[in-house]
Structure 1
Amino acid sequence: MTEPAVEVQPLVRQKAHSLGALGERWLAGLPGLIRDLERRWSIEVGRSLPGGSASYVARARIEDGRDAVLKLSLPTPDFAAQVQTLHLARGHGYAKLLAHDLDRHAMLQEALGPSMDRLGLDPWRQIKTLCAMLQSAWRVPRAPGLSVDPSQEKALALGELVGRLWEGLGRPCSERVVAQALTYAERRAAAFDPGRCVVVHGDPHPGNALRVTAPRPGAEAGFVFVDPDGFLADPAYDLGVVLRDWCGELRGMDAASAVGLVRSYCAQLSERTGVDQRAVWEWGFLERVSTGLYVLDFGAQELGRPFLDTAESLA
């Protein structure tokens, strides 16, 4: 392999800049970190890979000749949970973890194929496959001591985020959309039941579902997840994230058609997993609005705007 070219994806670079001095140091330190990990893990690091939003990802080759992927995450607090989830999953529903360094936000994973969103699959097939993958991923055991503080449950956190960012960004969507999102946040918080919680992926969109290079146990759907958040929540939360996407299919539709299409996706998610349809719909809308605002907050206008535009049609 050739000397690694540290070509950071634009979205990752934007996120790094949004972290201020911490992110700038991370960007500047990437070449040295790569060289050090090559020595420590006896790997050769090759070209960077496209995709991703919070890490530098590159091809690698292990000393025994196997292909792998090096991931260097931005210095954010959720990296430890990600490593822990992959470790406990042991390849079931998730990428296999080969090595990691928590202090340096680095991990080595099995080599995988393209992400689902790059394969031209229709939304129905993607939804069907994601449901199968999630049902496997939700069986990952809880780490010792992992629990949920009801006062910091995900719905409450997203509601706070929506209200704060909407005001801070100069109200970039209608008050009607934000009011609906906050209503759903309150409903999901009121329905919170720790007994229903599982270790959720947290962001199971098609870009985080990668095809395995060969059939193997734990990847019966033909794909596995990468980049888990690995916190405890209602399974409906993960399904809401799946429902959050499909902006490309929705843009340009009239409101009635958009609602009808997303309702049909929601029904499919509920039917395939046995999870309450209303909960999936409410999580999906809340995620659509919060994601749009969150992405706008670190400067990715082209990525964030479609979430808010489609929320206007669905409110």
Structure 2
Amino acid sequence: MGSAAHHGRPAAGDLEPPERLVRTVTAWEGEAGREWLARLPGLVADRLDRWGLAVERVVAAGGQISMILLVRTEDGEPAVLKVGMVNRETEKEHAALAHWDGRGAVRLLRAEPAEGAMLLERLRADVSLRSLAEPKAMLEAEGVLQRLWVPVVDGHPFRTVAEATGELAALLRERRSAPFAADAGAVIDEALAAQAELAGSADEVESVLLHGDYHHGNVLAGERMPWLAIDPKPLAGERAFDLAWLARDRLSTLAAQPGSRATARRRIAKLADALEVDAGRLRGWSVFRAVEAGVWYLSVGGRDDGELLLEFASWL
């Protein structure tokens, strides 16, 4: 670590992962997560050194499975260093960002995929679409998505929606019999039926590059463009799949107001209409994604989040 100190950069000891990151990684990833957290300060220090970066600060809110640092490059340009856990969902993040090349998404400056390290253009981390009123946020979100949905060519590196949801459906089937899912049998069965039908007919619908985790919190204010997407978990597949997260955005606010069921259904109809996707397919993917995520939350002890997602699925 001598060289890091020599360049006036923090040593690994100063690069402790933020509390929120430690909490989520420990709860979600178990032993593998704890091992990664132990290695993380060293990974970050090494990357700062190799890429000649000076740290301004660690972003405490940061990512749920990644450490985010505001840095300056050797030329003094502001940038962001992101070092995240590499898993099935995140392993192609750099490839998607490189494919978009700044069009609708944050620009990738450098990457070391094996370590989950990326140097990204700096956006306004504290200003996401959540800062806008919901109708305006939805309008902006739709505009960004239309730039992201580019055709994928043969031989692309991304998993398909059918493959990814097939794996999730298998896990959901296993979890159906667990004590924590005791009350959710009917809605789980509906979600599994929807996934089987939608994945089975995937060839009939145009396939594009999808963001995979698209919601208001993952779209930040930028300098070159008003709004840019971050944090993709990319897949190749139909547009309706990407809209399923958007359909349940700001869910706690939605649940707290009267007529939530009618509002949720109206939202699906409006999104389908605005982005020219089949409303039935959007409804099906919204049910599957909400149930799958809800049961996953129940499995890691997040009862409130889990029950809210299952309730949303039941409204549709």
Q: TM-score range by the shorter chain?
A: 0.7 to 0.9
Matches within 5 A, 1:1-315: 3=10, 4-10=14-20, 13-16=23-26, 18-49=28-59, 50-113=61-124, 114-119=126-131, 121-139=132-150, 141-142=152-153, 144-146=155-157, 152-168=162-178, 170-171=180-181, 173-193=183-203, 196-212=206-222, 214=223, 216=224, 219=225, 222-253=226-257, 257-312=259-314, 314=315
SS of the counterpart of 1:69?
A: strand
Match of 1:196, SS state, is: coil
Q: State the AA in 2 paired with 1:35.
A: A
Distance in 1 (alpha carbons) for counterparts of 2:19 and 2:217: 14
CA distance in 2, matches of 1:11, 1:42: 25
Distance 1:225 1:140, change over 3 A: farther
Q: Would you say the 8 A contact 2:152–2:236 is kept in 1? A: no
Report the CA distance shift for 1:128/1:173 in structure 2 as closer, same or farther (over 3 A).
farther
CA RMSD of aligned residues (A): 2.6
How far off is 1:106 after superposition? 0.7
SS in 2 for 1:167: coil
Segment drifting more, 91-100 vs 292-301: 292-301
CA distance in 2 between counterparts of 1:92 and 1:75 reads 24
Q: CA deviation at 1:201?
A: 0.6
TM-superposed CA distance for 1:11, in Å, is 5.4
SS across alignment from 1:132 = helix
> 1:165/1:9 Cα in 2 relative to 1: closer, same or farther (>3 Å)?
farther
Alpha-carbon contact 2:151-2:207 (below 8 Å) kept: no
Extract unaligned runs of 5+ from structure 1.
Answer: none
**Counterpart of 1:241 in 2: which secondary structure?**
helix
TM-score normalised by length of structure 1: 0.86
Q: CA deviation at 1:206?
A: 1.1
Alpha-carbon deviations, 1:198-223, whole Å to 9, x = none? 111101011111110x2x3xx4xx21
CA contact (8 A) 1:210 1:225 kept: yes
Partner Cα separation in structure 2 for residue 52 and residue 143 of structure 1:
32
Contact 2:211 2:233 in 1 (8 A): yes
Q: Deviations over 1:273-311 (max 9, x none)?
A: 111111111111211111112233333344433212333
The sequence identity of aligned pairs, in percent, is 27
Structure with higher RCO (Cα < 8 A, 6+ apart): 1
Structure 1 residues 172 and 91, CA, compared in 2 at 3 Å: closer, same or farther?
farther
Q: Which runs of 5+ in 2 are unaligned?
A: 1-7
Counterpart residue type for residue 77 of structure 1: R
Contact kept, 8 Å, 2:90 with 2:232, in 1: the verdict is no
Look up the equivalent residue of 1:305 and give its one-letter code.
E
Number of aligned residue pairs: give it. 304
After TM superposition, the score normalised by the length of structure 2 is 0.86
Moved more, 159-168 or 287-296: 159-168
User: Deviation at 1:262?
Assistant: 1.0
| Aligned counterparts of 2:158 and 2:112: Cα–Cα separation in 1 | 24
- Give 3-state SS (helix, strand or coil) of 1:93's partner: coil
Aligned equivalents of 1:90 and 1:158: distance in 2?
29
